[in-house]
Amino acid sequence: EDKEKSLEASYNQYKELYLSVAPTFQPGITWGEKAFFTPGAKAKVGAPYHPVAVGDDPVNAEYEKANNVYVPVDVSYPDQATAPDHNGKKIKSASYDCSLKKIREGGNVTVYAHDDRWFFGGCIVNVGKITYY
């Protein structure tokens, strides 16, 4: 019973957060991606790729490769009325890098997945690939 109450409270908390978040292209905002995938948008998912190692650190490079993958997503917005705004202009098409992770972190809790499931980690817009109406 406590587990059910906890799950319901968590669901309601995240639902409220989802409904309250304003569309944004700022990275790191929970549910910010809802601005990227508007009704009527057409998405093309590309091939996944692993993060590039920073510097000469083979231990961290292998860790990153095992726990993170990026997926490019190209999105077109055929209806200007429902297209998202970026810097005051309507977007015609954009490219996003979305991350999938084996480890999900939230607050002070870290969940390590020991199976083949990946968790959605968020998306970042590639500003250089935005076209406007």
Query: Structural domain boundaries of the chain?
Result: 23-132
- Given this model, what pLDDT does residue 104 score? 60
Overall average pLDDT of the 82-96 stretch: 94
Model pLDDT for residues 8-53, shown as the tens digit of each residue? 999 999 899 889 988 788 877 878 888 888 889 999 999 999 887 7
pTM for the model: 0.74
Torsion of CA 81, 87, 91, 94, to 10 degrees: -150
Task: Answer yes or no: is pLDDT of 68 > 70.
Answer: yes
In 38-54, which positions are buried (b, 16+ CB within 10 angstroms) versus exposed (e)? beebeeeeeeeeeeeee
Using CB atoms within 10 A of its CB, is residue 7 exposed (0-12), middle (13-18) or buried (19+)? exposed
- Given this model, what pLDDT does residue 13 score? 92
**What does the radius of gyration of the chain's CA atoms come to, in whole angstroms?**
17
